[in-house]
Structure 1
Amino acid sequence: MSKIDPSLFSGKPSARADEVCPKCGEALQLRHGKHGAFLGCSAYPDCDYMRPLRVIEHDEDVEKPLEGSACPLCGHTLAIRKGRYGLFIGCSHYPACHYVADLNDQGNSDPACPACSKGRLVARTSRYGKRFYACDAYPGCRYILNDKPVAQTCPECGFGILAERKGRLYCPNKGCGYQQ
């Protein structure tokens, strides 16, 4: 007796034999797309019914509730959650409340943008998880900085901010070589 299920290697991948399409009544087949596996109707061009294999639950993303904290919008408990770009703080009452706070935000004031003097340099996260600082007056101002800005003026050139890298301060202005 073989331990290998022959249905795994058949020419037509299919779902369970008892599952039928709710739109047209044809059998559902296991299909693969760029976002993973799903069940699709076997009469595809005529019927476009599909459903994911796994039902996504919002409660499985909750990592740890933060006791003693309340959502400023709805009053429910805040929780450390896992999302597409890593960990973040969000409301535990998610579908009804969409409050999100940054996990790395320590509540310090953001320095003014040296390029436009209208916006402030706020921390952002790229789609690859890298941290950078950009002007919040985007798209009017496109100033960006990879290192953490410090609200001090450069003593040599008078640039509006200094940047911190590996515990040392330097001037991010091109042409100025100030380091502290």
Structure 2
Amino acid sequence: MSKIDNHLFSAHEHALEREPCPQCGSELVIRQGKHGPFLGCASYPACDYIRSLTPSGRDIEKVMEGSVCPSCGQPLAIKKGRYGLFVGCTQYPACQHMASLQERDDTQIPCPACGKGHLVSRTSRFGKCFYSCDDYPHCKYVVNDKPVAMPCAKCGWGIMVEKRVRGTLKWCCPQKKCGHQDEQV
């Protein structure tokens, strides 16, 4: 029979020590926030010291070799943010350049609400596709289904949207008051 080494199971004194807050001297405790765990002062709200537990630069997934930031000339990287993957400058926060990884589908359909912009496809933070006016924030028109450049026969609204209703593809008026539907020809 082999003996169990008790040193493997003993607690070390340094593991039980708490780090003091650099602002007030109270102990730091691990707290949970919407962006993950962080260290915060135990005497909050009297002391508002916080420190991230994640190392900086963790949001960089891969540096893109041969790519150059149009703003500062440094390399670009694929980064992970709260809304998914995007392309950003490696010199953030000094350089704020960002670009989307997804290609925007510019439908060239004029916005029926303002008439100035065009409807483009965008992706929500939940990954759903929707179409909105590219003149945002001046125009906040949005439709969830794919727009069709055809005016509504009943109310005259500038577009119709494609919807699958009971297995068949239909064109529907996006205006809630109208509700007109046509069979797709």
TM-score class, shorter:
0.5 to 0.7
TM-score (norm 1): 0.66
Q: CA deviation at 1:85?
A: 0.8
**Alignment check: 8 A CA contact 2:113 2:141 kept:** yes
CA distance in 2, matches of 1:164, 1:46: 52
**Alignment check: 8 A CA contact 2:21 2:28 kept:** no
More displaced 10-residue stretch of structure 1: 46-55 or 109-118: 46-55
Q: Residue 29 of structure 2 aligns to a residue in which SS? A: strand
**Alignment check: 8 A CA contact 1:37 1:52 kept:** no
Match of 1:153 among 150, 153, 157: 150
* Residue 182 of structure 2: aligned partner: 177
Identity %, equivalent residues: 43
CA distance in 2, matches of 1:53, 1:115: 44
Give the direction of change, closer, same or farther, for the CA distance of 1:70–1:30 in structure 2 (3 Å limit): same
User: Which residue type is aligned with residue 135 of structure 1?
Assistant: C
Q: CA deviation at 1:45?
A: 5.9
Give the direction of change, closer, same or farther, for the CA distance of 1:133–1:61 in structure 2 (3 Å limit): same
Q: CA deviation at 1:40?
A: 3.8
CA distance in 2, matches of 1:148, 1:136: 15
**Alignment check: 8 A CA contact 1:153 1:162 kept:** yes
CA distance in 2, matches of 1:46, 1:163: 51
- Show CA shifts across 1:46-68 (max 9, x none): 851533351441x3222233344
**Alignment check: 8 A CA contact 1:120 1:135 kept:** yes
CA distance in 2, matches of 1:106, 1:90: 17
CA distance in 2, matches of 1:155, 1:18: 68
* Residue 93 of structure 2: aligned partner: 95
* Residue 54 of structure 1: aligned partner: 53
1:104 and 2:109 aligned: no
**5+ residue gaps in structure 2?**
1-5, 174-178
- Show CA shifts across 1:77-133 (max 9, x none): 333221101111222332222122221115756432123212222333323222211
Give the direction of change, closer, same or farther, for the CA distance of 1:38–1:50 in structure 2 (3 Å limit): farther
Give the direction of change, closer, same or farther, for the CA distance of 1:91–1:24 in structure 2 (3 Å limit): closer
CA distance in 2, matches of 1:141, 1:53: 38
